[in-house]
Chain A
Amino acid sequence: MAEIRFVRTAMLPPQEPPVSQIGAVRWVRENLFSGWLNGVLTVASAAFVVWLALHVGPWFMNAVWNAGSLAECREILAGTDGACLAVIRDRWPQLLFGFYPSELYWRPTLALLLLFVALAPALFPAVPRQLLWFSAIYPGLAYWLLWGGTLWFPVVALAGFAVGIAVFIALRPVLPLVAPFAGLVAPVFWWLFAVVPVTGLLAAVLPVGITPVRSDSFGGFTLSIIIGVTGIALSLPLGILLALGRKSDLFLVKTICVGFIEFIRGVPLITLLFTASLLLNYFLPPGTNFDIILRVVIMVTLFAAAYMAEVIRGGLAAIPRGQYEAADSLGLDYWKAMRLIVLPQALKISIPGIVNTFIGLFKDTTLVVFIGLLDPIGLSTAIRANTNWNGIYWELFLFIGAMFFVFCFGMSRYSMHLERRLKTDHR
């Protein structure tokens, strides 16, 4: 019989974990000093941050906000190093609105606020679906707010869609094959031949309008946002169509889509912008007022659509063949199969790529400076050319950079939110 020497009858009280395994110390050990290489990197990074703060910090701390010119700024600073942020204080309305009449600043502001209202039903599922009607009329409303003039022009232009749908519905029972084409062609004819006389007629009968603002008054972030938002909104549907076209079995459709995508992707955006601003002028008859902003928006949209098409094609390629076959076996036609089964999955996969293209497009809008449009970068040159602010450099770029960061970071965060919301897999 073995002799039992010791049996513990009571549990030991739990001990405090060692100091190195709890709280801040553990976090620091795990995250900052987990090895000698990481330790060195941590020290080096900390030294760099301190160095940066010591060099840039005073520049911000000494910033001058109240001055009428760079010379005055320097007088106030009296030899110390400091930012002359007075230029931002003096010119921020111009950087935001360009040459838009200052008494009408509420119009672009309202258009921007309404943009968020119009986007809400598309972005957040909690918003009532009825708001989609507002999203549908928003383009016309925004155009009217920004450019002003008679209310009837956007109304009549939007009516083109109604005309197309009406023609389609009217013809469908009689000529089912022709109806879709007629529905597509009718609005084009409406826009080409009916909009101007009908607008003139309605405006004469019932004049409703606000002060018109010419395109050359647009500038600064208003211009960037107009070009960016329009390009983003139009390039997604166009990109989806191009991606589907590229995967199509119809030879002609496929060839056109491949040709378009490869051509646009093979040409730098700046070339397209020069084409829009310079080459078109030679071909159009003199006196044609083909708005420069419209020309730029078209080019930017086509450019982004080609990239978008390839991003979405990547998403389409990731869908297993079984999904297409399942859709076919359910008896769905092509458009229903795409709309209900393939595209929802493909677009979800493509979200990071799509948002990537959006952000790239928004930042590319600064390229319009090369064709003489006064976007924020262009305005910074113009502000610097003013004798009061000649010689100022970093302050303007910092402000513009900060503004762009806000927009791009916002888009990026939303895309991550969307990815989490749509996450249905079990990885």
Chain B
Amino acid sequence: MKKTLLLGSLVATGFGAGAATAATLDDVRAAGQVKCGVSTGLAGFSAPDANGEWQGFDVAVCRAVAAAVFGDPSKVQFVSTTGQTRFTALASGEVDVLARNTTWTFSRDADLKFTFVGVNYYDGQGFMVKKSLGVSSARELDGATVCIQTGTTTELNLADYFRVNNMSYEPVPIETNAEALQQYLAGACDVYTTDASGLAASRATFADPENHTILPEIISKEPLGPLVRHGDDEWADIVRWSLNAMIAAEEYGITSANVEELAKGTANPEINRLLGTEGNLGAMLRLDAPWAKNIVTMVGNYGEVFNSTIGEATPIGLARGLNAQWTQGGLLYAPPFR
């Protein structure tokens, strides 16, 4: 009886936890920083530099939220999370927002009770093979040995793809990306499969990238985006529109270089509303009027962040592809700021 009572009260505390975190914005303001869950290390997306400063494409989302809330992109406490700990860290309130190249799926949204606020990178699963294999399409991979990370959606996608195309394969299950690359380079498998961005990043690190090729087939949809807990729409809006502000800023040609100039007022009312010189969009989010201007000034617009962290000028060397603006044939489409 006593044990049941104790367990009952523990569970009640747990539910109390869910209810009490309703006003995340107030908690964040009280703490003086945004607690942001990032990957423990993914090339170009999140990694600490030699001084321990976190850098990367996902990290920029955290910094954008901090810039919007505090006007200071350094007010972020980065919590490194692994594939196993990330969802619990978010659900339990250890982090306020998770920006950790997480695929937006139905069950994560509905069953795990998270709100995906948008997509900051459209990825998809691809294949890398050695050129000497003489393969030019994934359809020719019948009977291949495939290096694959266990416990990921890529494993399931691979099985689906080979079954649909009536091909057989021999999986070589491997725990981490670095280990998988060693195995692939040592010839333990013919093919390495993971997200196309990861393949491009890995290929760039090889001593002989010209001897490896990434096959044109993309076999899955991997929309990666930041997410927050269910139950606090106000906070979800702040993160969603911080991301949208970065995307919209690129669309309207607002960069960290010209934002000061444009913030003095322009003929374009949409730019004025975004930068807070017209209307009161900031107040609707309970933020300062120049919240979006702060994001662009301190972090940059979507294109600037992309180019400096994972773009073609970096060793990762990813092309914009699907991640171009809708006006450029991509999928990025920020709703109007009105």
Which A residues lie at the B interface, using CB under 8 A? 69-71, 74, 90-91, 94, 98-99, 102, 214, 216-217, 274, 277-278, 281-287, 369-374, 378, 381-388, 390-391, 393
Contact = CB atoms under 8 A, between A and B. Distances in A.
B206 A391 contact: yes
A372 B88 CA distance: 12
Contacts of A285: 13, 16-17, 20
B205 interface: yes
Given A374-B80, A387-B44, A286 B85 contact: no
Contacts of B39: 385
Given A281-B94, A381-B176, A391-B205, A386 B47 contact: yes
A277 B93 contact: no
Contacts of B13: 283-285
Contacts, number: 123
B330 interface: no
A385 B47 contact: yes
Contacts of A387: 43-44, 47, 314-316
B309 to A, nearest CB: 8
B181 interface: yes
17 contacts: A70-B205, A216-B78, A278-B89, A278-B92, A281-B92, A281-B93, A286-B21, A286-B92, A370-B84, A370-B85, A371-B85, A372-B89, A381-B178, A382-B41, A385-B42, A386-B49, A387-B43
Contacts of A277: 85, 88
Contact of B80 (A282, A372, A388): A372
Contact of A383 (B21, B41, B316): B41
A67 to B, nearest CB: 13
Contacts of A384: 41, 43, 178
Contacts of A94: 48, 50, 52
B258 interface: no
B77 interface: yes
A287 B18 CA distance: 12
A275 B88 CA distance: 11
A278 B50 contact: no
Interface string B56-84: 10000000000000000000011111101
A277 to B, nearest CB: 6
At the interface, is chain B mostly helix, strand, loop or mixed?
mixed
A390 B201 contact: yes
B156 interface: no
A200 to B, nearest CB: 19
A378 B80 contact: yes
B82 A370 contact: yes
A275 to B, nearest CB: 11
Contact of B17 (A91, A286, A370, A374): A286
Interface of B: 10, 13-14, 16-17, 20-21, 27, 39-52, 55-56, 77-82, 84-85, 88-89, 91-94, 176, 178, 181-182, 201-202, 204-207, 314-316
Contacts of B91: 282
Contact of A278 (B49, B85, B206): B85
A278 B16 CA distance: 17
Contact of B178 (A217, A284, A393): A393
A98 B78 CA distance: 14
Nearest to B316: A387
A216 B88 contact: no
Contacts of B81: 372
A90 B21 CA distance: 42
Nearest to A386: B47
Contacts of A217: 52
A374 B40 CA distance: 8
Contacts of A386: 41, 43, 47-49, 55
A55 to B, nearest CB: 14
Given A381-B40, A381-B178, 7 more contacts: A285-B16, A370-B85, A382-B41, A384-B178, A385-B45, A390-B202, A391-B205
A382 B45 CA distance: 11
A385 B16 contact: no
A374 B205 CA distance: 23
Instruction: Tell me the interface secondary structure of chain A in the complex.
Output: helix
Contacts of B55: 386
Contacts of B176: 381
A371 B37 CA distance: 13
Nearest to A279: B88
B177 to A, nearest CB: 9
B41 A385 contact: yes
The 5 closest A-B pairs by CB, nearest first: A391-B205, A385-B41, A281-B92, A385-B47, A99-B52
Nearest to A370: B82
A286 B231 CA distance: 15
Contacts of A385: 39-47, 56
Contacts of B93: 281, 286-287
A278 B51 CA distance: 29
B27 A90 contact: no
Contacts of B41: 378, 381-386
B42 to A, nearest CB: 5
Residue among B17, B48, B51 with most chain A CB within 10 A? B48
Contacts of B42: 385
Contacts of B49: 386
Question: Which of B16, B21, B50, B176 has most chain A Cβ within 10 Å?
Answer: B50
A387 B207 CA distance: 14
Contacts of B182: 393
Given A381-B178, A393-B182, A286 B20 contact: yes
A283 B205 CA distance: 44
Report which residue of B16, B79, B85 has the largest number of chain A beta carbons within 10 angstroms of its beta carbon.
B85
Nearest to B56: A385
A403 B85 CA distance: 28
Nearest to A292: B94
A94 B54 CA distance: 13
Contacts of B202: 390-391
B40 A283 contact: no
Contacts of B16: 285
Contacts of B78: 216
